[in-house]
Chain A
Amino acid sequence: MQNPTQAPLLELRKVTFSYEQRAKPVFEQLDFSFPGNRMGLIGDNGSGKTTLLHLLVGLLKPTTGMVYFQGNPIQSDTDLVQLRRSVGMVFQQADDQLFCPTVLEDVAFGPLNLGQTSRQAKATALEVLQLLRMENYIERITHTLSGGEKRMIALATVLAMNPKVLLLDEPTNDLDRTAKNRLLTTLQALEIPMIIISHDWDLLSKLADGYVALENGKLTFSEQMEIHNHKHAHPMGSHTHEHQHC
């Protein structure tokens, strides 16, 4: 969309998808292209946001239609492996994203798969954890982490693979304000294109530079955030604040 001569980073062409054969398709003949900015993806519960992300990385297979990565169609298994190594995804259920016993092993899992040696993978893991200021968690057992901690570690596991694109599925769910701000600063500092699913307007207004709204299986793009009504609680009382988008 931004640059017509350059192929979009990720693209869906005429994708139809339904979870079950007879069920009403979630998407019909959907076209989507991600130029490589920081795109917010919004939509109601059950509108298909998660499904869209999973289609983009081949975790779900379109019934008809094609997925493109940097202009190349994803056809073979090697294409898929390549695509997934380049795309980092933080899942909606971060809990299931941490499958190794300890944090260190989990963060090192990706780098090891990319062919790093044990020593390199450990160094990478430590580096990423330091970036997120989570290095104190390195020895922790993953399933005893709190929800917010799991999400930060999940982000670390993804960043450790040095992804070309980040797909974040509601990344600030169950984060407190401090953790959310830390995540926001971290993400703002990263020079990686990303798609962010979120219901958190505050996060989106600070992070995203374009929006896609998903409704009834159709996408609406907008370069700027639309004016919208919203309510939010002000935990610090009646301090003044600005909204960039109004």
Chain B
Amino acid sequence: MQYSGYTLTSGNSQSKLLNSPLMERVDARLKIVTAGLLSLVLASSQSLSCLLAGLILAVVYCILGRLNTWWVLKRLLSLNLFILFLWLTLPLAKTPSPPVITLGWVSLYKEGLFLAMIITMKSNGIMLFLMSLIGTLSIPELCRGLQQLRVPSRFVQLLGATYRYIAVIKEEYQRLYQAALLRGFVPGTNLHTYRTYGYLIAMTLLRSKIRAERVHKAMLMRGFTGIYPMLSPDSPAPPGATPLSLLLFSSTFLLLTLLSFFW
């Protein structure tokens, strides 16, 4: 059975990204904060130059992070499929200015087109930054970083538990589904099929809840009192890498902020 889909990067993120001193082996907290700030700048900026620079820099970050090109493109594709709907709807919105183009009974307006473009640039830029900064962290590293940044422990636990159990839940669903198949279930478009799917999903949810209770019991038995303790990493970021990354991250942030205010 495949367990893909529970780490942000496909496969083992640690081994894949070796020899990339600027992105890898950077303190998780620094990456998280940078990702947050850069996303904030891009999300709030209306300046085309800032968005364009952000997009280019985000691509550079992905290259520096040695991300797998296919993996990146696949994620971008699913994001842009969603954005496609904006392109199909936003330009149709009527505005006081005359339409840019009229094709038969459809008119496209400048404001809508501009808005769709801005949203596309923003979301792709943010996505690329997130992939290069957060996507190169393993989930335990991310959890540890968030916890060190004083993010509420409940949220961190939720993330950690999702990481640990999402594959288990998927496996459980598949086991139930296979059991149904083995007993001659053939999916079709009828009530029996829908009811069976309903049972399968309900059963998976119920089992997850019962499992969560058992896990919680096991945690209590091991002295858990609400704070999730974590091991500190064996090898902290090597000296030299962090100042360089700090320089890169802060200059990116400054550049984008300046662009967004002055151009």
Contact = CB atoms under 8 A, between A and B. Distances in A.
Interface of A: 54, 57, 59, 81, 84-85, 87-89, 91, 93, 95-97, 99-102, 104-105, 108-110, 112-114, 118, 121-122, 142-144, 157-158, 161
Contact of B231 (A84, A104, A110): A104
Contacts of B215: 96-97, 99
Q: Identify whether the interface residues of A are mostly helix, strand, loop, or mixed.
A: helix
Nearest to A81: B225
B239 interface: no
B217 interface: yes
A43 to B, nearest CB: 21
B163 A101 contact: yes
A101 B229 contact: no
5 contacts: A91-B217, A100-B164, A101-B160, A102-B140, A143-B168
Given A54-B217, A113-B223, 9 more contacts: A84-B223, A91-B214, A99-B218, A101-B140, A101-B160, A109-B224, A110-B222, A113-B222, A142-B164
A101 B164 contact: yes
B217 A59 contact: yes
B139 interface: yes
A112 B225 CA distance: 11
Nearest to B233: A118
B186 interface: no
B161 A99 contact: yes
A140 to B, nearest CB: 13
A62 B221 CA distance: 18
Contacts of A109: 219, 222, 224, 229
B3 interface: yes
Among B163, B214, B218, B230, which residue has the most Cβ atoms of chain A within 10 A?
A: B218
Given A112-B230, A144-B3, A59 B220 contact: yes
Given A99-B215, A143-B167, A144-B3, A113 B229 contact: yes
Given A100-B164, A105-B140, A142-B164, A113 B225 contact: yes
Nearest to A92: B214
Nearest to A91: B218
B222 A157 contact: yes
B220 A84 contact: yes
Contacts of B214: 91, 93, 96
B209 interface: no
A85 B160 CA distance: 23
A57 B223 CA distance: 12
Interface string B178-222: 000000000000000000000000000000000100110111111
